[in-house]
A and B are shown apart, each in its own frame.
Chain A
Amino acid sequence: MSWWLTALLWAGVPEAEVHSVQTQDKATISLSHRPGEGPPVLVVHGISSNHRCWDLEGGPSLAAALHASGFDPWLLDLRGHGLAEFSADGQRQRRGGSVDDYGQYDVPAAVAFIQKKTGFDKVHYVGHSMGGMVMAVALHHEPELALDRLVVVGTPMDFSDPDRVTGPLMSLGRWSSALAGYLPAPLAASVHGRFRTPLPVDEWLFVDIQSPVREQLYEQIVSPLYARELRQLEAVGREGMFVSADGKDNYLVGLRGIQQPTLVVAGRGDRIAPPDRVAGFFTEISSEEKRFVIAGRATGFSVDYGHLDLPLGAHAEQEIFPLIVDWLRGEASE
């Protein structure tokens, strides 16, 4: 990423206002708002991450790009993540939540709050990784939820044919009861970021991020990994499809009800949510206006985008953010 482009994007972007919002089930979420005058956009992070994933201090920022393009970005921290690691009364939200909780309670609370604050009837939605799954859960439980145009980035939705890495990883949930509620992922990330452990974590997460953004992301965007998330992933892996933690709700049903214009973006080099797993999102939704983009060299992009390259890669501001902005504007649909 060129420093001048970042500087240009950040020029005129107001400081974030932070709002703590209580959900229907009494958890606390946080919304970081960079006030703009245009249509509101709810931006949601992935698993074990937080709002900085889309708004890295000193790095790529979709929030800045949205603001510069006339939108009003609201960045969500799901319960237990980022600015919502602690509740409004200062208690650590140790249990975090499951994907069910995030979709059923956190997203509707965020949408209602944004509607109330802005006066807009509908809210655009951008989700990275689990942030897209959360949206599917929200629309499963509340099909009339006031979401406008949708963007999901690196969101897996096809869990059949488990491979030798994701299969065992998803089964970690079996042992999650032994955890004290969560795994201290921020500590591990900080150690890896600073000391470059020999684990091939970088190679698995990105291909196009260099210092100092690399170190900043390990410091800023990692949140605890919660046992309840792992337990749900275990259920998903066991069933081979996106289901609720108790296995009773098949979220593909809700997904098929999605009618909103939807942009689905996958990274050709994404090892966490490879295109064949993301494709399920695109094929299942009922939207008449939808587009699937695979960001890779064979499709005309600079690099084969990895999982974190999509929001934070060196070329994200030139190649991914404009796709999102154009989609939210109603341009560039196919």
Chain B
Amino acid sequence: MMKLRHIGTVMGLWGGSALAQDRSALEDVGWSFEGLPRVVIVSTPGVDRSATVYWEHQLEQSGFDVWLLSAPSEADSEQAVRDSIEHIDEIWPPGSYDLLAHGYAGRLVVDANPKARKMVLVGAPLGPQMTPTVSKVPRSGPVVEGLPWPTELLGSLPMEAVSAELAHAYLEMAQREAARDPDAEVFLVASGGDVVAPVECVRLPSKTWSDRRFWRADAFTVHPLQHGDLLHNKAVFREIQRYLEQ
């Protein structure tokens, strides 16, 4: 059932392999190193694959075996994405990998609750927005362009088409009750400038979680970090690395 395929190089240096099944595409995005700590980056449908390149490269340089989990292109629902996340546990034994997710993928990871050793959730909305926002699905139809927010509020975030059903699910997350405490240890990163997952939608819903660490990404920055900025901020990556190395 599994097949191995070569994926494109990243920054002209990398090669890698992919384990693809019906429900997910799990790609080894760098050099394959047996025995190194394994980190799976879960991408958000609607966000372009290039968004996580900085993390991939930095993690690889820091001595991790980096994999990227993308929902299959035909995944048009929240359930389909959660299924692809749960599928990781069919490939690797419980506790043998860490997860790193940004944005809506983080919420989907928590809801799927895979048996990771650790989870790092960056700018992931875990509870409802406390006041109505201007978010909306930008265009009607079976497929819409990216995340349901005005692009000027998202910072530097490359986007791609996503199913309207998923975009509506993202919108609905802004009213959904708080996520449940996952089984894995969790490191939460949030920024006040992030409209998708402002600090009150990350810190407050998770206050009573066990094994949870929280870090305010913009506590020491001159300017608040927006949603997309979290993906290529050096200080944010340093904290992620520090946590994963513990």
Chain A positions within 8 Å of B, measured between CB atoms, are 158, 160-161, 163-166, 200, 203-204, 268-271, 274-276, 279, 282, 292-294, 296-300, 304
Q: Which of A268, A294, A298 has the most CB of B within 10 A?
A: A298
Given A271-B192, A276-B204, A300-B130 contact (CB < 8 Å): no
Q: Which A residues are in CB contact (< 8 Å) with B220?
A: 164-165
B219–A275 CB distance below 8 A: no
B199–A276 CB distance below 8 A: yes
A163–B216 CB distance below 8 A: yes
Given A269-B224, A276-B199, A276-B200, A166-B131 contact (CB < 8 Å): no
Q: How many A-B residue pairs have CB under 8 A?
A: 69
A292–B131 CB distance below 8 A: yes
In this complex, the interface size class of chain B, counting residues with CB under 8 Å from chain A, is: 20 to 34
Q: Which of B131, B153, B207, B224 contacts A294 (CB 8 A)?
A: B131
Binds A, one of B72-80, B100-108, B132-140: B132-140
A300–B134 CB distance below 8 A: yes
A269–B192 CB distance below 8 A: yes
B131–A161 CB distance below 8 A: no
A299–B219 CB distance below 8 A: no
User: Could you give 14 example pairs across A and B, Cβ below 8 Å?
Assistant: A158-B204, A200-B222, A270-B192, A271-B192, A274-B199, A275-B130, A276-B199, A292-B130, A292-B131, A297-B195, A299-B131, A299-B132, A299-B133, A304-B224
B193–A304 CB distance below 8 A: yes
A298–B219 CB distance below 8 A: no
Report the minimum CB–CB distance from A313 to chain B (whole Å). 16
Q: Tell me the complex Cα distance, A163–B214, Å.
A: 9
B242 contacts chain A at the CB level, 8 A cutoff: no
Q: Tell me the complex Cα distance, A200–B223, Å.
A: 10
Q: Tell me the complex Cα distance, A233–B80, Å.
A: 49
B193–A275 CB distance below 8 A: no
A297–B203 CB distance below 8 A: no
B123 contacts chain A at the CB level, 8 A cutoff: no
Q: Which of B134, B200, B224 contacts A299 (CB 8 A)?
A: B134
Given A165-B219, A271-B192, A279-B204, A297-B153 contact (CB < 8 Å): yes
Q: Which A residues are in CB contact (< 8 Å) with B203?
A: 161, 276
The 10 closest A-B pairs by CB, nearest first: A276-B200, A163-B219, A298-B195, A276-B199, A163-B216, A200-B222, A298-B133, A294-B131, A165-B219, A203-B222
B198 contacts chain A at the CB level, 8 A cutoff: yes
Q: Tell me the complex Cα distance, A200–B224, Å.
A: 13
Q: Which A residues are in CB contact (< 8 Å) with B199?
A: 274-276
Mask for B213-227, Cβ within 8 A of A = 1, else 0?
011101110111000
Q: Which of B132, B135, B149, B204 has the most CB of A within 10 A?
A: B204
Q: Which A residues are in CB contact (< 8 Å) with B216?
A: 161, 163-164
Q: Tell me the complex Cα distance, A332–B35, Å.
A: 61
Q: Which B residues are in CB contact (< 8 Å) with A161?
A: 203, 207, 214, 216
A274–B192 CB distance below 8 A: yes
Q: Tell me the complex Cα distance, A204–B222, Å.
A: 7
Mask for B19-42, Cβ within 8 A of A = 1, else 0?
000000000000000000000000
Q: Which residue of B lies closest to A278 (CB)?
A: B200
Q: Which B residues are in CB contact (< 8 Å) with A163?
A: 215-216, 219
A298–B134 CB distance below 8 A: yes
Report the minimum CB–CB distance from B187 to chain A (whole Å). 13
Q: Which A residues are in CB contact (< 8 Å) with B130?
A: 275, 279, 282, 292, 294
